[in-house]
Structures are given as C-alpha cells and as structure tokens.
C-alpha cells in the first residue's frame, strides 16, 4: 500500500499513472462522488480537479470506536482506496493502517499537526469524558486531551460515524464512560465539526465532504451538523419500497411472501421515516443497502438511535 506522507509536488495525473489507474476508472469514481453530492455526472471533472491538486494533509484520530467506519472507508472501490485516495490525499496519521508505531507514530502526528499548510482532522469514535477521560488512552494521553490539543488547530474537523458525531453506541444508556460527540465536547473551543453519521457511514459521503472542502465552497449543514447534500432527505423518501407504503402494502413478517415481493417493512420496525441519509441512493459499494436486502432501517445516522429508536424490530 503506497501511503503518501507529506505534501506531494508531482501532479495528480502522474501519481495515478504510477499506480496503474486509468483516467477512465478515475473518472468513474469521480462521477460516483459527484452523484453522491447531488451535482450530477457533469460535475465529475470538478471532483477530479479537487482530488488531483496539492495533497491535503489528513490526520485521522480514533477515539472510543469499533473501527467499523475505517473498515467502510477502506472498502471504497473502483479504484480501491489504497491505490487512489491514499495517494491523492496525504494521510499522515491513521493508527489502523499506518506503518509507524509507538514513538514514530506520535512523531508523525505532531509533524502533521505542525504542517504550515494546515491539515484536516477526521475523528472516528466518541470522546469519553468521565473520570477526566481516563476510559480511552492513545499514546499515553487521553483521547479527550489529544483532541483538545489538535482539533482547534485544524482547517476543518470531520466526524466519521455516529459515535464521533453524537456519541453513538458508546453513549448508550447508562453511558458509564460519559461518551460524547466531538461538538458536544469542544464547541467552547471554537470547534465546529462536520458530522457524517452512520454506523457505519457510506464512505462516499466522507469523500464528497472532502471534495467540497477542497473546492473552497460553502458546505450547507442541517441543524445536526450534517451536510444537506447527503442527509437532506429521509430514507423513507428515497426508499424503493416507498410505493408499497403509499399503497398500504406492508410485509407481515420477514419470511412472508409479501417481504419477498419487496413490500414495505414499516410494520416490522423500519425507522426510515425518522432517518435522514442517502443509503437508498448511493448504496454500499454500489451493491446494496439494508432495506433492499430485507432488513429494516434502524436509524443509525440519528442521535441517540440506540436508546430512542429501539426496539429495532416490531412483531
């Protein structure tokens, strides 16, 4: 895996060519990102320009999490993340995939934070605050203190996943660790993170947000800090089973003939009407999403979904 560290001086076209990525495959990826952003295929050239300019330094921090968001991001494909995104941005710190460890990893983090050209910080996982943050240590420091040190210095802060956005499952009742989302912890320091919730979120929503930032345009956010490009409509509105909801056709059970015919899963516990996300539009790996696969939406991109939207299933 060719992970670039530091700012690249060569052109984006040269970097892609060295990785054996054709312009056609790259433009297919850019088209998918453009469609995710709601801009249409014609916007692909602007996405390409943003992704092949000077590599932006990315610092990716892990707090209290399961690494599922990183797993989703690493499964971005056509072309794969390791041959495109990690050579298009400068991913200077990511504990899961970086080669460095121990003191070398900590030095890489401090070097990236001191970059005179600035950096973007992505946070995955909730921030434990109970017992002065002692429930989560990285490199001998609580993640609470690490984020307090780093986030105010970033050009932009992006929360990858529901845990860093709102606390997620880490903050589920009784929340003994005092887990909170990034904005709840650091708003008083001037931090205003962009939330990309989901458990896990679709990686194209993160890529689209980074593209919008690199282009220097305004990113419109809803009242929960989510980009309206990706979270402006409910899952219910976009769902391919919506026509059955409107027709009053509801599956009585998961193993029923009606369920196999694609009837609405609302009576079985689907939280699509309460959930704002673009899952039906973007899919995961352009292949499928839970409701199409026959599972109700559990509302994982909403705050406190683990407590407030349970039970996930209805008899």
Three-state secondary structure call for residue 197: coil
Annotated ligand binding at 185? The verdict is no
Annotated ligand binding at 159? The verdict is no
Rounded Cα–Cα distance for residues 253 and 238 (Å): 22
Each as own residue / partner, the long-range contacts of residues 233-237 (CB below 8 Å, 24 or more positions apart, any chain) are: 233/276, 233/278, 234/272, 234/273, 234/274, 234/275, 234/276, 235/271, 235/272, 235/273, 235/275, 235/276, 235/277, 235/279, 235/280, 235/291, 235/297, 236/272, 236/273, 236/275
Q: Enumerate helices (H) and strands (E) in the chain, giving the number of each.
A: 16, 7
Annotated ligand binding at 136? The verdict is no
Question: Which of 180, 176, 158 has the alpha carbon at shortest distance from 168?
Answer: 180
Q: What is the largest CA-CA distance in the chain?
A: 61
Annotated ligand binding at 147? The verdict is no
- Cα 45 from chain centroid (whole Å): 23
Annotated ligand binding at 300? The verdict is yes
Annotated ligand binding at 69? The verdict is yes
Question: Which of 233, 257, 182, 214 has the alpha carbon at shortest distance from 89?
Answer: 214
Contact 37, 43 (CB under 8 A): yes
Contact 64, 143 (CB under 8 A): yes
Contact 144, 185 (CB under 8 A): yes
Specify the DSSP class assigned to residue 163. Answer: H
Three-state secondary structure call for residue 189: helix
**Residue 311 is encoded by which pair of tokens?**
């039970």
Question: In sequence order, which residues have a C-beta less than 8 Å from that of residue 4 and are 6 or more positions away?
Answer: 15, 55, 86, 87, 89, 90, 91
Point out the annotated binding site for [3Fe-4S] cluster. 279, 297, 300
Point out the annotated binding site. 66, 69, 163, 199, 236, 239, 264, 270, 279, 297, 300
Point out the annotated binding site for [4Fe-4S] cluster. 66, 69, 163, 199, 236, 239, 264, 270
């Amino acid at each position: 895996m060719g992970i670039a560290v530091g700012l690249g001086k060569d052109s984006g076209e040269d970097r892609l060519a060295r990785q054996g990525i054709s312009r056609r495959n790259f433009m297919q990826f850019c088209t998918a990102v453009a469609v995710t952003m709601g801009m249409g295929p014609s916007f692909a050239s602007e996405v390409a320009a943003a992704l092949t300019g000077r590599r932006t330094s990315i610092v990716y921090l892990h707090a209290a999490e399961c690494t599922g968001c990183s797993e989703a991001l690493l499964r971005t494909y056509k072309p794969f993340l390791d041959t495109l995104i990690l050579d298009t941005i400068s991913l200077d710190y990511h504990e899961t995939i970086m080669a460095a460890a121990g003191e070398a990893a900590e030095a890489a983090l401090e070097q990236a934070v001191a970059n005179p050209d600035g950096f973007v910080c992505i946070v995955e996982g909730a921030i434990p605050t109970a017992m002065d943050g002692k429930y989560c240590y990285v490199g001998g420091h609580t993640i609470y203190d690490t984020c307090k040190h780093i986030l105010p210095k970033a050009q932009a802060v992006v929360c990858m996943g529901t845990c860093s956005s709102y606390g997620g499952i880490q903050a589920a009742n009784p929340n003994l660790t005092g887990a909170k989302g990034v904005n709840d912890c650091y708003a008083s320091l001037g931090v205003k993170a962009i939330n990309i919730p989901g458990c896990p979120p679709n990686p194209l929503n993160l890529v689209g947000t980074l593209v919008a930032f690199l282009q220097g345009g305004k990113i419109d956010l809803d009242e929960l800090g989510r980009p309206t490009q990706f979270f402006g409509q409910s899952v219910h509105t976009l769902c391919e089973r919506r026509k059955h909801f409107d027709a009053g056709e509801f599956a009585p059970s998961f193993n029923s003939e009606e369920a196999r015919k694609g009837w609405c899963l609302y009576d079985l516990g689907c939280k699509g009407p309460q959930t704002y996300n673009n899952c039906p539009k973007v899919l995961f790996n352009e292949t499928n999403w839970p409701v199409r696969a026959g599972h109700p939406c559990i509302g994982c991109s909403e705050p406190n979904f683990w407590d407030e939207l349970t039970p996930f299933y209805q008899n």
